[in-house]
Amino acid sequence: MTIAWNEYEPGNFYDEMISSPGNARKPAQKLLSYLKSLSEGDINSRKQAAELTIREMGVSFTIYTEEGNIDRAWPFDIIPRIIAKKQWDQTAAGLRQRLQALNMFIDDLYHDQKIIKDGIIPEFVLKQSTNYRTECKNISPALGVWAHICGTDLVRHTDGNFYVLEDNLRVPSGVSYMLENRSIMKRVLPEVFEKVTIAPVGDYPARLFDMLAELSPRRVKKPVVVVLTPGIFNSAYFEHAFLAQQMGAELVEGSDLVVPEDNKVYMKTIDGLARVDVIYRRIDDVFLDPEVFRKDSVVGVPGLMRAWRAGNVALANAPGAGVADDKVIYAFVPAVIKYYLDQDPLIPNVETFLCYDEKQRQHVLNNLDTLVVKPANESGGYGMLIGPHSTKKERDQFAELIEANPRNYIAQPTLALSTAPTLVGKNIAEPRHLDLRPFILQGKETYVTTGGLTRVAMKKGSLVVNSSQGGGSKDTWIVDTEVDNK
């Protein structure tokens, strides 16, 4: 017996694949037709093949626990998520617009602060931002770009449209899993790739390297690009090593680099010191340079900020770019787009309440049981209150946190996140909520991945998609229905 698609019930949510029991949306029609042709044994063998491939490829992630760090195999679902190319093209245009405006905003904050002086963003919001780095004032990175790599989290609501949930501009991660998901799917469902026109994602490492090379302060034919990792115990180390290997770049730790008195960065090699032009850093700002930030950092490079300030090395993302990661700043991004580009945002924000505003704070405190409350600078789904799934004790605790530091909290309505069919048992597919993290590169030009990393909440009814908290992942297919239907 195969999956009972005629019994699959999307419920009250927008399901991205199934419009009604047994009926696929247009972009997913060929996929569903193929899945219906598979026997129970076929489906199970493909699921097992995916799990075996993940083990063979060593695709893993690390979670931090009180007992220590635990490496786990990447949780993966073999039913892909499907998005129509026409809708994705519009979404990609909105992502390019957003990152362009955010980079103009960051550059303004470290120079004239016109947006503050013109009253678009309150001055105290910037002064109380934990990721604003005074050490970066009056520095002008190559091409005027601070956030070269951005991972923007999108959600799809009941209206079928995408909304921006948050921007990740410090050290965005997850793109390696997007690439590995595609490799797994090509092994598991190779026949479908012959029937459906699916946009490729494999050019990302080459585009990333080309963008990084553009930043080189030296006009040389082959700039030296390195990936700076905090080391094997970091939760994203798999990705650091993967991207370095894919780009043909050296993977280095802080101890592999040195900055002498000439304010240039060199890499230690068996042949002596070699000049480094561009550093794709996967280390948080405060650990980058013990001369400037945390003096106890053992993963950074003493003198790195000297070299960057002197224009002798490029850093991606630039230190200080995380000021735009602030979830309070997020609420102002539509105004930021209007201010710098004189355009309306192509992708809307989720309605956001700012707890520093007395009237909005009172609304939040009166509705904690229906809202999602987030701290301004946490990531990974930590430190949140999901109102409908919370206890009175948890709500009381958050009320105290908000009252004590209202600038540090925002609140948003609990969204009816879209769903997609997900294998949850032997031959059983049920709707599970998901989000999407596409990746945007900005150098001389701006590039958006075709799709991105789809994260799926594996627990029924859960809205938490983070792998560190039990979430899984799907391959994301951008499907050109106009080509397929010719």
The reported pLDDT for the residue numbered 62 is 60
The reported pLDDT for the residue numbered 484 is 59
Q: What is the tens place of the pLDDT at every residue in 185-198?
A: 999 999 999 889 99
Q: What is the tens place of the pLDDT at every residue in 26-57?
A: 999 999 999 999 888 898 899 888 888 888 87
The answer to whether 115 and 105 are in contact (CB under 8 A) is yes
The reported pLDDT for the residue numbered 319 is 97
434 vs 396: CA distance, rounded Å: 29
Q: Determine, yes or no, domain membership for 328.
A: no
Q: Determine, yes or no, domain membership for 373.
A: yes
Average pLDDT over the chain reads 91
- What is the domain range of residue 360? 353-413
Q: Determine, yes or no, domain membership for 1.
A: no
Q: Determine, yes or no, domain membership for 367.
A: yes
Number of domains in the chain: 1
Q: Determine, yes or no, domain membership for 374.
A: yes
**Phi/psi at 241 (nearest 5 deg)?**
-65, -40
The reported pLDDT for the residue numbered 378 is 72
Q: What is the tens place of the pLDDT at every residue in 330-388?
A: 999 999 999 999 999 999 999 999 999 999 999 999 999 999 999 987 765 568 898 88
Calculate mean pLDDT across residues 156-165: 93
**Phi/psi at 93 (nearest 5 deg)?**
-60, -40
- For the record, the structure tokens of 483 come out as 């080509």
Q: What is the tens place of the pLDDT at every residue in 243-268?
A: 999 999 999 999 999 999 999 999 99
Those residues whose C-beta lies under 8 Å from the C-beta of residue 2, and which sit 6 or more positions away, are 35, 36, 38, 39, 40, 42, 43, 427
Q: Determine, yes or no, domain membership for 231.
A: no
CATH label of the domain that carries residue 359:
3.30.1490.270
Calculate mean pLDDT across residues 80-105: 97
Calculate mean pLDDT across residues 440-469: 88
Q: State pTM to two decimals.
A: 0.94
Higher pLDDT, 416 or 381: 416
Write a three-state SS string for the chain. CCCCHHHCCCCCCCECCEEECCEECHHHHHHHHHHHHCCHHHHHHHHHHHHHHHHHHCCEEEEEECCEEEEEECCEEEEEEEEEHHHHHHHHHHHHHHHHHHHHHHHHHCCCCHHHHCCCCCHHHHHCCCCCCHHHCCCCCHHHCCCCEEEEEEEECCCCCEEEEEEECCCCCCHHHHHHHHHHHHHHCHHHHHHCCECCCCCHHHHHHHHHHHCCCCCCCCCCEEEECCCCCCCCHHHHHHHHHHHCCEEECHHHEECCCCCCCEEEECCEEEECCEEEECCCHHHHCCCCCCCCCCCCCCCHHHHHHCCCCEEECCCCHHHHHCHHHHHHHHHHHHHHHCCCCCCCECCCEECCCHHHHHHHHHCCCCEEEEECCCCCCCCCEEHHHCCHHHHHHHHHHHHHCHHHEEEEECCCCCEEEEEEECCEEEEEEEEEECEEEECCCEEECCCCEEEEECCCCCCCCCHHHCEEEEEEEEECHHHHCC
Q: Determine, yes or no, domain membership for 87.
A: no
The reported pLDDT for the residue numbered 61 is 64
Name residue 250's beta-bridge partners. Answer: 226
Residue 464 has pLDDT above 80, yes or no: no
Calculate mean pLDDT across residues 383-396: 90
Worst-scoring range by mean pLDDT, 156-170, 268-282, 459-473?
A: 459-473
Calculate mean pLDDT across residues 234-244: 92
Q: Strands of 278-281's sheet, edge to edge?
A: 250-252, 225-228, 278-281, 314-316
Residue 71 has pLDDT above 90, yes or no: no
Name residue 18's beta-bridge partners. Answer: 24
Q: Determine, yes or no, domain membership for 357.
A: yes
